[in-house]
């Protein structure tokens, strides 16, 4: 399948990398020759220098034969025009556009109409705000994903040396017949993702990924030593769209929110937009202001400005002052692994969130959702079980499933449950599967599903 990716920033680069690694023919367009040259050196793609909304540039990128355009430049308007030209001039069937201005949501129906023809609009700030909201709901977790229409959650937790889980076999800490069952479906150890089995033991400094129903997770986390007190006082460093969206989401809660923003005009806009949040005008790195506003006693400090160096610095300052939890927005994926050493409890990368949203669209068909774990080391996917596939009609213990993959949960007629070896998957059940990268294609084969089904 030929895909045109417009925009060779971190988002476009990572989308192009994933597509090329999975056997797709990729053309990458950008106005910056240096970006195109870098991508051409590192990836097996065709690089095209130019503005993606110009018909000739799209033609040079192979638009006549392309099936999908993914427009993720830094300009919302260029992305929209590129989709418009791609559809009307070249007949490209499927268009995805990154649109950062939340105000464009008011004309969403027009963007999806035949006039513009955008099949999927991605709002990075909304993606990030949703992820942060889930972390606020699970304050001990370092990441939280949702599956099964919200009936299942995957939550990541970092294990300290004194954790009661360290050194014990998984089958003891997580018995398969527990009433409120949760499953360790993946472990990040020494930078590598593993799919564990019942006899495996957890180590100090492991990051574990727990899959379960929200109520079951709420019940089991205190027993497992993975719970944390609820968050009631948040200080947000930076008053951009992410901060505004998070504050809006918390308006009806009992959580106190303060926002520190250096731009006075933006402070005024936030004060008019938000009913309950306290908006403060000041520099993010002003330690005296942080002390004055009791950042050291807050339950959560959110560093979400557009300057990631400021975010890292203020996160470290907030931690040193005594903030209980620190979450940080990091635009560069390579900075994310550094977060724990800086005292950051959870790092959110808007570009990776956007990549995940695009991949969910590209992998559609019988795949309902897909997210990456630890960049692209592993995937967690939700898929429909098709009649005649290897998964359907026999106990999971008898299924010849790829090494490095596990069926974590089954959704049957709206009810979700953590899978056991005795469970039988029926036709049209939805299954949640975790697989390391090298096992993904074998999982797709077991599901009798091609990577893309249009």
Look up the CATH number of domain 233-352.
Answer: 3.40.50.720
- Average of per-residue pLDDT across 247-252: 91
Q: Can you give the pLDDT at residue 356?
A: 67
401: which residues sit within 8 A by CB, 6+ positions away?
390, 391, 407, 443, 446
pLDDT at site 327: 95
Distances (CA, A) of 178 to 171, 182, 415: 10, 8, 17
Residue 305 has pLDDT above 80, yes or no: yes
Please determine whether the domains at 2-122 and 140-224 fall in the same fold group of CATH: no
Q: How far is CA 85 from CA 64, 79, 106, 154, 160, in A?
A: 12, 10, 22, 39, 53
Report pLDDT for 114.
67
- Is the pLDDT confidence value at 192 over 70? yes
Question: What are the tokens at 333?
Answer: 């994926």
Helices (H), 298-432: 308-321, 350-362
Q: What is the mean pLDDT of residues 141-154?
A: 89
**CA distance linking residue 5 with residue 385, whole number of Å:** 31
Where do the domains of the chain lie? 2-122, 140-224, 233-352, 358-446
Contact 39, 45 (CB under 8 A): yes
3-state SS, residue 20: helix
Chain length of the chain: 454
**By the 8 A CB rule, do 188 and 210 touch?**
no
Average pLDDT estimate for 354-373: 70
CATH superfamily name and code, 358-446: Regulator of K+ conductance, C-terminal domain (3.30.70.1450)
With 0.75 as the threshold, say if the pTM is over it.
yes
Torsion sign across C-alpha atoms 361, 150, 390, 396: positive
- Distance from C-alpha of 245 to C-alpha of 259, rounded to nearest angstrom: 12
Q: Does the pLDDT at position 453 exceed 50? A: no
Give the mean pLDDT of 97-122.
76
CATH 3.40.50.10490 correct for 140-224: no
The token duo for 156 is 């990541």
- Which of 18-27, 318-327, 401-410 ranks highest by mean pLDDT? 318-327
Q: State residue 363's pLDDT score.
A: 62
The pLDDT of residue 375: 66
pLDDT band at 180 (very low <50, low <70, confident <90, very high): confident
- Label residue 256 exposed, middle or buried (CB < 10 Å: 0-12, 13-18, 19+): middle
- Order the strands of the 430-436 sheet from edge to edge: 367-373, 378-384, 430-436, 405-412, 415-418
- Give the C-alpha separation, 336 to 338, whole Å: 5
Give the residue-averaged pLDDT of 158-175. Answer: 92
CB 444 within 8 A of CB 408: no
Residue-wise pLDDT for 377-426, tens only, equals 888 888 888 888 888 889 999 988 888 999 999 999 889 999 988 999 99
The answer on pLDDT for 454 being more than 50 is no
Instruction: Note whether 276 and 249 are within 8 A (CB).
Output: no
Give the CATH number of domain 2-122; options: 3.30.70.2740, 3.30.70.3400, 1.10.8.60, 3.40.50.720.
3.40.50.720
The pLDDT mean for the chain works out to 88
d(CA 57, CA 35): 16
Count of beta carbons in the 10 Å neighbourhood of residue 231: 20
- For the cut 70, the answer to whether the pLDDT of residue 142 exceeds it is yes
Tens digits of per-residue pLDDT, 47-79?
999 999 999 999 999 999 999 999 999 999 999
In this predicted model, which residue has the larger pLDDT, 198 or 27? 27
């Amino acid at each position: 399948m030929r895909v045109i990716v417009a925009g060779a920033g971190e988002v476009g680069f990572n989308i192009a990398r994933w597509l090329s690694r999975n056997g797709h023919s990729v053309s990458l367009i950008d106005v910056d020759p240096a970006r195109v040259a870098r991508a051409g050196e590192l990836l097996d793609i065709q690089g095209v220098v130019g503005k993606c909304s110009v018909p000739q540039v799209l033609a040079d990128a192979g638009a006549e034969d392309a099936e999908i355009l993914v427009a993720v430049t830094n300009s919302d308007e260029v992305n929209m025009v590129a989709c418009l030209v791609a559809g009307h001039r070249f007949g490209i069937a499927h268009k995805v556009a990154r649109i950062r201005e939340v105000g464009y949501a008011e004309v969403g129906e027009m963007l999806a109409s035949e006039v513009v023809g955008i099949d999927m609009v991605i709002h990075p700030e909304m993606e990030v705000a949703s992820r942060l909201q889930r972390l606020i709901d699970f304050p001990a977790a370092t990441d939280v994903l949702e599956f099964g229409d919200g009936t299942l959650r995957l939550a990541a937790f970092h294990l300290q040396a004194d954790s009661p889980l360290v050194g014990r076999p998984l089958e003891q800490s997580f018995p398969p017949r527990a009433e409120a069952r949760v499953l360790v479906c993946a472990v990040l150890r020494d930078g590598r993702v593993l799919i564990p089995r019942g006899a495996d033991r957890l180590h100090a400094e492991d990051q574990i990924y727990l899959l379960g129903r929200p109520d079951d997770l709420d019940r089991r986390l205190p027993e497992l030593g993975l719970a944390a007190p609820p968050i009631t006082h948040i200080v947000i460093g930076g008053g951009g769209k992410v901060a505004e969206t998070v504050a809006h989401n918390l308006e009806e809660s009992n959580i106190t929110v303060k926002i520190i923003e250096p731009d006075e005009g933006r402070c005024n806009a936030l004060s008019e937009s938000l009913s309950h949040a306290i908006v403060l005008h000041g520099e993010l790195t002003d330690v005296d202001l942080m002390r004055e506003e009791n950042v050291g006693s807050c339950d959560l400090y959110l560093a979400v400005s557009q300057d990631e160096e400021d975010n890292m610095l203020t996160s470290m300052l907030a931690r040193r002052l005594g903030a209980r939890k620190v979450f940080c927005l990091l635009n560069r994926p390579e900075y994310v692994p550094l977060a724990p050493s800086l005292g950051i409890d959870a790092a959110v990368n808007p570009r990776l969130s956007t990549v995940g949203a695009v991949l969910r669209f590209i992998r559609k068909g019988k795949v309902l959702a897909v997210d990456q774990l630890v960049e692209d080391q592993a995937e967690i996917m939700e898929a429909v079980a098709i009649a005649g596939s290897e998964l359907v009609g026999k106990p999971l213990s008898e299924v010849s499933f790829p090494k490095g993959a596990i069926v974590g949960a089954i959704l049957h007629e709206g009810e979700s449950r953590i899978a056991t070896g005795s469970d039988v998957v029926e036709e049209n059940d939805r299954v949640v599967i975790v697989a390391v990268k090298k096992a993904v294609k074998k999982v797709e084969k077991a599901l009798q599903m091609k990577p893309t089904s249009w």
